Amino acid sequence: MKYAFVVALVLASLVSRVMAQAPSVSGSGAQVLGPNQVVVSGTVPDEATRVQVLSRLRDLYGADRVVDQMALGAVVAPPQWSQHLHKLLSPSLKQVTRGQLNVQGNLIDLKGEVPNESVRQQVASDMAASLNPTYTVRNGLRVAAQEQAIVDQTLANRIIEFEAGSAVLRPAGMAILDEMAQTLAKLKGKKVEVLGHTDAQGGRVANVALSLARAQAVKTYLVGKGLLADSISTAGLGPDRPVASNATDEGRARNRRIEFQVVQ
């Protein structure tokens, strides 16, 4: 699942995240997150702050898209943090996709994709101009690449199949990877991360290990088709990012998947 936006606010011991996704509930109790919902999670110092964050996000994205998962805790926010937060959560963020805004004290990291170079510079510039000089904004935005769209179209939401409980590719999975190899070979100078996912059945530690083994098996297969090993990285995310309910066979099958993310 490619998140539309994530906001991570780290203030002393305060951590709050905002994800643009769509909610559902899996059989394991974890929330399934999709591309149209804004899920706010983390710890805030008081009820007034929580209400302010929710109000701002609902103004930006619409009340029906915002899901509150925040908790109250004994955390300390910097002076005038609420006012700065209001400025950071500005309408310009809606121009960023697959993005992340990290605030750690007075340091702000902004990442994600924007439609063109003008927007890339303007979003970060407006953000910096709205804050006092003690804040530093690091612009990690990039112009959206069409390579990811090409990779997504090739995979076409198909599931790369493995033998049950193992990292052994099935013939149907190999056939999809044959197509992926041809597409990835055209991405000259780009690197790709292979992400492995599992359903929620069994222990999490074992699932993370299995998801990584499957991602590595995919890399090995692609390298065997002529792709450079150093152009492919791998990660195993286990059951942590479901795209469907784990309460049904169909949902679990969808969660057992491989994703390809163009990272450079």
List the beta strands (DSSP E) in 202-245.
232-236
3-class secondary-structure state, position 58: helix
- Helix or strand or coil: residue 62? coil
Look up tokens 């599992």; give the residue: 198
Q: Tokens 């059951």 belong to which residue? A: 239
Residues 13 and 76: beta-carbon distance below 8 Å: yes
Q: Is 71 helix (H, G, I), strand (E, B) or coil?
A: strand
In angstroms, rounded to a whole number, what is the distance separating the alpha carbons of residues 143 and 149?
Answer: 13
Q: Which residues contact 72 (CB under 8 A, 6 or more apart)?
A: 43, 44, 45, 46, 47, 50
Residues 244-258 have pLDDT tens digits of 888 899 889 988 999
Amino acid at residue number 204: R
What topology is assigned to 5-143 in CATH? Answer: hypothetical protein tt1634 (3.40.1520)
Question: Are 20 and 61 a contacting pair, CB within 8 Å?
Answer: yes
In this prediction the pTM is 0.53
What are the structure tokens assigned to 210, written together?
A: 């299995």
Q: Angle at CA 192, nearest 5°, toward 187 and 198? A: 140
- CA dihedral angle for residue 40, residue 41, residue 46, residue 49, rounded to 10 degrees: -30
3-state SS record for 176-223: HHHHHHHHHHCCCCCCEEEEECCCCCCCHHHHHHHHHHHHHHHHHHHH
Residue-wise pLDDT for 112-138, tens only, equals 777 777 788 888 888 888 888 888 888
Which residues, other chains included, contact 90 with Cβ-Cβ below 8 Å and sequence gap of 6+?
Answer: 60, 126, 127, 130
Domain extents in the chain: 5-143, 146-262
The two tokens of residue 92 are: 């310009």
Structure tokens at 190: 């780009």
Tokens of 236: 């195993």
Task: Per-residue pLDDT tens, the chain, 264 aa: give them.
Answer: 343 344 544 433 333 444 444 333 334 444 544 555 666 766 777 898 889 888 988 888 788 877 787 778 777 776 777 787 788 888 888 787 766 777 666 778 888 777 777 788 888 888 888 888 888 888 888 776 678 888 988 999 899 999 989 999 999 999 999 999 999 999 887 889 999 999 999 999 999 999 999 999 999 999 999 999 999 999 999 998 888 888 899 889 988 999 998 876
Q: How is 16-49 classified by DSSP, letter by letter?
A: EEEEE---EE-TTSPEE--TT-EEEEEEESSHHH
Q: Which fold has domain 146-262?
A: 60s Ribosomal Protein L30; Chain: A; (3.30.1330)
